[in-house]
Structures are given as structure tokens and as C-alpha cells.
Structure 1
């Protein structure tokens, strides 16, 4: 039997997590299993406030008090979020107890969402092309495991021996991330018996396992995080401990629950806030949490752009193509150190006067000493560098091939660090005019094009340019400079943070100001909520964003404490009673 018999059980017109109520057409394989394939979606108003400034069209409404009830309520979201490719890879690795999946999803149809992060369960779905990829992947993985005696032995539940029912119950719990129903067990056991016919060349037990693996790796209960709880408690639907275990594991580890988390679910200890806090603290001490934090910041800081940086070696003799990977490693090493070694929070990410360099980056920073290809912590001149925004990767990836780009640096900080509501740019924006005299600084050219007295004065002049100008001391590769076109660099500016105008003299000062701004702390927490909850924030999240965001600055919460607060909140432990409808 081949997994190909299930090629049509997930069709492109049956998006289980789409805002619709649909019935999937079961394949012969799933029909034989008699497994439930009717799944419904759920959605609602993403913003409860009025349209327009300060309402649902304003990202600030996602943070500010007053545009949603003060009670912490769960936002409408998919009851069937599909695993992202990153989560799928991790889950396959852990479910089958493999050392590596060898990048199996590299050949799959790529994930694509319209949000900052790739795990937005409201947008991930399975169409015909991806379903074919899952089908072929299930075949290959099942064959790989069952034709290797050592690999097969690793996935057989303890004490199961060669008993088909014991295998189905034990492995099925891990694959579905909940106990199977008696009907599901019977159906899988019946399928197991067909292994001898499907694969007569194999040992009877191995053949049965192979067929079951092919089916389970294609099951909606594996590919999606299915939440079946429906009983209401007032305005919410409390999730079961099994469902919370999955939410918690994919939030903090981007993979399936481990044995300890399954045991906590079995003992029904995850319904209460304290049970979740205890498990979250345990999980954050695991290496999987380090990987999740790295994946979050990789996307938040748009590090794929670091890997596209290219510079002329005539203008920038320090640049090499291998430096791109060093830029990523620098930022990731810094983030890991601040969050897990220092157990610090957002303010430290913005201001810590050190970084990690190898021999290539040391030359860009102008450091003396001997370095090799390993990342080494170094203290930097606190008058020139401090925190994420003065690191080479951010500065070089937001520059042109020859000059620093104050506009794109300013846009990035407004969007990703401050969550400021920039309006969309107008159509057909003309490029920055060339400087025929060759004497104007980049700041002067930008001011002349978008500053006071121009059509760009409103947005550029008050929001984008003032932030971008703070980085004028850094050239297109991120090197420190004192002059631009023979003139002294002017990196001073002012910006209205939550309506209060603050002056700063350069990027180090700006980073220090940002570290003290409630809007920046709430923005960082908002991004973490989006990542850990697997959906964009809405007005209903305003209360938890305000509580945790304010605590981030008032109580100097560490990033680990922020994560514990988010996953222990009612919005994480329960589901909205509002269902998605077309």
C-alpha cells in the first residue's frame, strides 16, 4: 500500500483552517480508517474598535488601552492551525526520533504568509501541490524508519513488543498529540493488518508499522494542531490539557510535546495557570527554547536580508561573501547571551555595549587583537555601539550598495521596534535625486527630498527620517564614520514617543531612549504574542499586551518572564467562542 491512495484527502478547496465550514473528501485510505475528517474553522472581527485612526485600521489600537475590553479575552483564531514547515520538520524529527530530517521540506511548496512570522495559523493551509509533498514525504519517512531495524526500534513504545494495538495506542498518542479514540485505534489496527499484503517483502510487524506511519503522517491530526474542545465557560472555551500541551510546546519549542509534557496532560495539570507556569519554566531551560528564540528574532529582525548583503570590495575592502553568515551569527549569539546567559529583557537587547565577532566582523568594528572563525564576545566603545540596532547586520542590510539608507533604517525601526502606524507609501515614489555637486551629505539630500517643506514632510519628516538620521554615523557596511562627504556627521534628531517629543544625539542615545519607552516594550511583547499564539494580535489582546508590556518596563521583566506571562494568560489557555465564517 502506498501513501498515494490518500492523494486527494486534502484538496485545495478544503482548507481546514480557512474561514469557512467545509467537509473534506476522504481518500480510500482514510475512508478505510473511518477517521473523522470534518473540521470547521473559526474567525471573527480582528479589531473590535471603530475603523480609522485609533481604531481597527491603526496598529496602535492593538496595544493601547481603550479600544478593547479590559478583560483578557482570547481572540478569534483558527481551531486547526497547520504546522509551519519549520514546525513540521521538528515534529517529524522528534516523533520518529531521528537525528535529522535532512531538510525534507526544502522540496515542499514553500510557506507564505502576509505577516511577520511564518507560523500564522490563520493563513497556512494545504492545497493540492503541498498535499502531494506531504504524501511523498510520508512515504519516504515511513520507508526510512521501517527498513532500518534500529530506527524502527526507537519508535516502538516501551513494552509494546510486536503487538499492533499497543503500537497504535502508544505511537498514535504522540502522532496525534492526544489519546486516540477507541474507533481510531480499531481503524489503525485494521490498517496495520494490511501491511503484510501491501509490503510482502517485509517482516509482518515492520510492514504494518509502515502502513500506519504513512497514514498517520498524512492525518489532519498530525499536520494540524486540532482543537476539538467546544464546551463553553462564559465567554470562552477552556482548552483540554492535551490541547494546551500542544499550544505550549509549539509556542516555546516549535515542536511536539515531550514525554514530561504529555505526562502533565495525562494528569490534567495544565488547565490551571500554575501548571502552565511550571512547565513553561522547565521548557525555557531546554535547548529547544534557545532554537525558538533564535527563530523568532531571525524573522523579527528580518535576518534573511543579512544573507543578501553585497558590497564592492573596492569601496569596502573588508567585505567578503562569508561575512553574511557572520552577521547572522553575531546577532543570534548576542540574543542568546542576553536572554539565556544574562536572563535579561528588552531594554538590555537595545543597549548592551558588547557583541560577538569573528575575524571578519572584527575588521568592520575596527577591533585590535587576534580573532578566528568562532564568535567571541567583545566589549565595544559605549559611545559608538549599544544593542541590536548598532550591529553590522542591521546597518548593512538597510543600506544601498554605496551609502547608508536612513529611510529604510527609519522605516524598519518604526515598524518592527516601535509598532508605529506608518501609512502605506504612495504609488510611484521617485528615487532620491542624484547630487550633481557631490558636496551634499546623505542627510541633506534626504531632507531636500522628503523633509520639511516637501510632500513627504508629514510622514518622513516626523517619523521615518528622525529615526533614520540617528544612524548617520554608520556607513553602508556598518563601519563607524565621523564625516560624510567631508562634512561632520549630524546624527541628532527628535521623535514623538507616545506623543512626547524626545531629543537624542545619535543611535546609541536613541537606543537608550527606546529602551525606556512603554510603546517599544509593548511592541516587543506584541511580536512575541504573535509568534507564541501563532496569529496576529487583535484588539482583544490589548489587555494582556498592556499588562505584560507595562511589566516589561516597570518590573524589568526578562524575555523568559515575558514568555511565561504570555503562555499563562487566559487568551492562551482558552479559545474564543466566536467561530470563523465566510
Structure 2
């Protein structure tokens, strides 16, 4: 059979698979991989010349899964070795997937780098998509915000504890698999019982339960001792609680199971305890504490299954807010209106355009993407003669982003280049004590003159040669700084990974990554140690894109000079008795020259004379915009992208560009994409 990477390969027999392997895969492996993985040298104990292509009934499938991962993520062959063409690599990837499917194997591509960017950018945006969707069905945990909103809604003031914590080590917090260990389960059970207690407030009068504080009679009736609830009463209560908690009616099987559980619990533990624990069980159902993305119905001819309508309703809602779906959206799901992409898009647009529908997850995306809220976590030396109020700086950046998103035109470019800013915007001089002191401290961070008067007419324009976008906002600059100095390395790492889409390897555990303590030297002079051969392979990716941000100090203030210790003047700074009077500093011009390289895009690569020029250069790059799309994909889909998501990513980028840079259009494209709505059906 002939190879056609643009179409999904299928093999009816091993003979067909062998023929395709011999034709398109074996020659590529011999030419580009045999030097390290051949008969003479089987690096990692992997000999691709002897690895059986038949994956059925052998152990070779696991080894081929490693090959699939390395090829898909662009990690092999190594970057400094000759590379196969895109078609040859795509043919090998498709053959491995097809042979796995023929053999009844399913091995997803392993994401070895948790922060993404491992998939070669060209595989996603370099041409017509050739891969197929790879994401298996899954169950996700609720985010802490969603769980808090859920328990607040249903618990009627119950003081429950947080069962879930944000995922660690990922770009975004809501990118974690369920973690239902013993402490989490114990917390969930305790919370469920507290909520049931609130839902069934009552007092007993002569063996009859009397509702209090608005507790629904359908539930309170179950506690009656004198006139025990009938089978109909029990059914009514279970149906009520299902509708209240799960937002649907129980199936016949669920109803029968809960009735049996109720009877058994009452028999074993008494009516009050039995009813309490049975009702709590509804709050422990997977639909109450997890997000299901398992799909419904048989898989299509590609092995893909579409999310069930109610799964879509919840997924779409949680893409924008922390609250459960609106009643009309669940009704649309039950009526079949979400069975098509157009139907889902109509629902998404309705939510996006509704000014009364709160959408906190949009601002949260930008907070997590830029990371500027970390400014509140950066300790600043109290000996510094600077009043510092990071919460005000974060609030200012929040409002700036909200304003740009509200305009919804060229959102990303504006976020990288605007010279506008909100300054101490959240403070009201008539209501807040200490306004004057805080206002003076905050506006100095923006470089405004000491006599600047606060105004509600905001945003204001800052000098265009001093500020350009979120990365020049004091909040971001503080967030990526140290207690007493700038942090060129991490600022450069942020630009490299979040804007340029490259991977900066983690620091080896054998390296003591500390700059020398030399207060008489500038930061750039102290960073000379990073140019040693062992360090430079990573620092060459970070230093030059971080240097331009030396335009600002670690409080986010614009500067043209850097302060360093003057040893000679310090030695002379003594009183008449020779007692040292303290260090003396001198000002030296801040070196803000830098540049971009190792991107492979002539429109981006090159020298820059400062942060403003750097930001405008990056904002004009299509690649940088596409990298932003990749990050939006990770946030709204809760996972890193794979080669099989190329079609969804390209469609999202087209939607963003065709709409003139609309964030609404981008979100709508992502949450109506095949990657969002479909999963690879896996065996239970």
C-alpha cells in the first residue's frame, strides 16, 4: 500500500503493515537513527535494526512507544544531527500508530517536559496537519475554585474545607489528573456530611422532624421516627438531591441502589445516621467531585468518541466560570442542541456575550500566563528606602488586562505593547485610609513625577520610550525579581518559553546556580560566569532576551543607571575617629542591549536596544502569536498540546486573526475544536 501521511493509515493484516514499514519507515530509521541505535551501538539498549515491527503478542510495542514519543516531540534525532524531512517523520509516526491500532495497543505520547513546548513548532503550524487526535478519554479533578463555588452553592453556608489543590509543576494550575488519596477522600467525606447537615436542618417534635432554616421538606421528611418515610418519600428525596447536586435525575439503577443503601444504612445505624450517610453519598458521586470527559456512544472510524452532551455543557461552562452550568445550557444538552459544533459554538457565544454571566477564568488565564500576581509573594528588603504595595500593582495590571480584553481588538499585541496603565486604580480617597501614602508609593513605581495627582480618569499614558505592555508593568517586573535585585535569568527564561516557544532545560542537580556576591559589579558583570561552556548551552537562550528588561529595577521603576558599590569611596567614608560610616554607591549606565536568536525566524532574530524595542519586535511576530495560542490551548484544554492537535491549533489561530485579534473568537475556537470535543476511546 502507498503511504499517505495526510490520511490515517489502517492495516488489515501484518503483511500490509510490514510492506509499509519496509517502504517508508525502515530506510528512514537506517539513515537517521542507525548510527546510535544500530548493530554497532544500541544506545539506551534500543536497536532499531532488530526491533520487530510486529507489535502483536510481543514486547516491542513499548519500545516503539518510546520511538513514537521521541519522533513526535522532535527530540530525536538530536538537533545537531541530520534530520529527516517532515514527510518522512510523519510517515514513521503514522505507521507506528497504525501498527499499534492493528495490534490492539494504545500508548499515548508521553510528555516528558511538564511545561510544554516539547512539540516542534513546525509540526503544529508548519503546514497541513497530518496527525490524528491522540488524547484518551479522561476524568479530571475539579479546580479549587470550582469546588469552592460548588460547595458554596449547595452547602448553604457550610464551613467546608478545600479538598483540592492546584496542580504543581505545570504551566497552568488546572492541568492535573485526579488525586484522590486518603487525605483528599477524608476531606470530601467530611465536607459531604457538613453539607447534608445544612440541607437537613430540623428539630424533632414528638418523633416528627420539623424543617428549620429553609431546609427542604423532601429531605427532612426522611428523619421522621413516628411516621417513617414511605418508599415514595425516599424516591422523592433521592430525586430531589440528585437534581440539586448533580443537576439531573437518577437513572433507574441509581435510584434502586440508593433506596437499597438507605434501607441498609437505617437498619445498621439507625434512622438519623443512616439517612445522613446515604444522602452524603450523593455528594461523593464522581459527577459531584470530578469532571468527566469519557464521551458517549461508539467510537467513529477514527477511534474517536464525542463527549456526551452534558459533559460538553459542564466543560464549556468551566472554560469560562467556576459555577455550574446554566439551566438553559443543560436543557440544550438534553434537547440535543449540543450535538453539533454549530450548536456548541452558539452556546459558547451566548455565554461570552452575556454581560451578566461572570467569566473569571479569562482574567485568571492572563494572571497565570503572565504570572504577575506572584508580585505579592516576592519579599522586598525592608531596609530599602521604598514604599512598596504589590497588591495595588497587581490590581492595576488586572484592570489594564480587563480593559484590553473588553476592547477585544488585537488583544495579544496590545498586551505586549501598550504604554497605558492604571495607577492605584482600586483605591478610593474618600473611603480608604492611608490613600495618600499608598498612592504616592504606587505612582512612583510607574515613573510618574512626585507631584502627579491621582485621577479616576484612567488608564493614563506613560512615556512610549519607557513602557510597552505587561512585561514592563511594575507588577510583572516585581514578580520576576529577587528581594534586592533584578533577575535577568528568569525574566529571560519567561520570554524564551512563554513568547518564543522554546524549552530551557532544568538546572542539573550537580550545578550550584548562584551568581557571585560582588556588589561592586553590575548584574551583567556578575553574570559573566554563566558564559562558561557548561552553563552557556542554557544561558544563551535566556541572557540576551532578559538583558533589555534591565531598563527597570526590582521595584519595576524605569531607570537609566544601575547602582553598585563604590569600594574606594566606601573605604574613605569614615568619621574623624576612623569609624566606618557605611557603604557608598555609585551610578553606572544600565546596559539594556540584548537580542533574540535561536528562533529561526528572521523577523524575530536580531539585536535590540531595550525592552520597548524587544516587545514591539516580539508583538509583530507570527510565531510569537502562535506560541500564545499554544498557551491558551493548554489553559482551556487542561493539558499540553500534541502533534494531533495541529488542526485545532491552526483553526484557533485563523479564528483569532480573521477576527482582528479577538479573545472571544480565540476562546470560542478552542472550546469548539475537535481537541476539546473528542477523545480517543480507550478500553476500561
The TM-score range, normalised by the shorter chain, is 0.7 to 0.9
Which of these two proteins has the greater Rg computed from alpha carbons?
2
1:459 matches 2:538: yes
Contact 1:72 1:571 (8 Å CA) reproduced: no
Alignment RMSD = 3.4
Matched ranges for 1:401-420 at <5 A: 401-420=483-502
CA 308–450 in structure 1, closer or farther in 2 if over 3 Å, else same: same
Among 243, 251, 254, which residue is 1:181 paired with? 251
274-283 vs 182-191, greater mean Cα deviation: 182-191
Among 509, 516, 524, which residue is 1:433 paired with? 516
* Counterparts of 1:155 and 1:283, CA distance in 2: 33
1:311 matches 2:311: no
Matched ranges for 1:456-535 at <5 A: 456-461=535-540, 463-485=541-563, 486-496=587-597, 497-500=599-602, 501-535=605-639
52-61 vs 130-139, greater mean Cα deviation: 52-61
Q: 1:341 offset after TM fit, Å?
A: 4.5
Aligned residue in 2 for 1:61: 119
176-185 vs 465-474, greater mean Cα deviation: 176-185
Among 315, 338, 363, which residue is 1:294 paired with? 363
1:450 matches 2:530: yes
1:257 matches 2:318: no
* Counterparts of 1:192 and 1:316, CA distance in 2: 67
Matched ranges for 1:221-240 at <5 A: 221-226=287-292, 227=294, 229-235=296-302, 236-240=304-308
SS at match of 1:484: strand
SS at match of 1:245: helix
* Counterparts of 2:132 and 2:332, CA distance in 1: 25
Matched ranges for 1:381-392 at <5 A: 381-392=463-474
Contact 2:144 2:164 (8 Å CA) reproduced: no
* Counterparts of 2:131 and 2:348, CA distance in 1: 20
* Counterparts of 1:276 and 1:477, CA distance in 2: 45
* Counterparts of 1:523 and 1:190, CA distance in 2: 54
* Counterparts of 2:284 and 2:596, CA distance in 1: 52
**How many residues align structurally?**
514
CA 568–556 in structure 1, closer or farther in 2 if over 3 Å, else same: same
Aligned residue in 1 for 2:147: 88
SS at match of 2:482: coil
* Counterparts of 1:425 and 1:166, CA distance in 2: 60
Contact 1:248 1:280 (8 Å CA) reproduced: yes
Contact 1:73 1:571 (8 Å CA) reproduced: no
Alignment gaps of 5+ in structure 1: 1-42, 157-161
Which structure ranks higher in relative contact order (CA pairs < 8 Å, sequence separation ≥ 6)? 1
Aligned residue in 1 for 2:578: none
* Counterparts of 1:296 and 1:466, CA distance in 2: 27
Q: 1:192 offset after TM fit, Å?
A: 5.7
SS at match of 1:295: helix
Q: 1:92 offset after TM fit, Å?
A: 2.5
Alignment gaps of 5+ in structure 2: 1-64, 80-88, 90-110, 203-211, 220-231, 425-438, 564-586
Contact 1:441 1:484 (8 Å CA) reproduced: yes
CA 560–145 in structure 1, closer or farther in 2 if over 3 Å, else same: same
Matched ranges for 1:122-141 at <5 A: 123-141=177-195
SS at match of 2:344: helix
Among 269, 275, 286, which residue is 2:343 paired with? 275
Matched ranges for 1:555-574 at <5 A: 555-574=659-678
CA-to-partner distance for each residue in 1:402-431, whole Å, 9 max, x for gaps? 221111111122223332122233331342
Among 143, 148, 159, which residue is 2:197 paired with? 143
Q: 1:478 offset after TM fit, Å?
A: 0.7
Among 172, 197, 201, which residue is 1:117 paired with? 172
CA-to-partner distance for each residue in 1:441-480, whole Å, 9 max, x for gaps? 322332x2224x754334323x201111110110011111
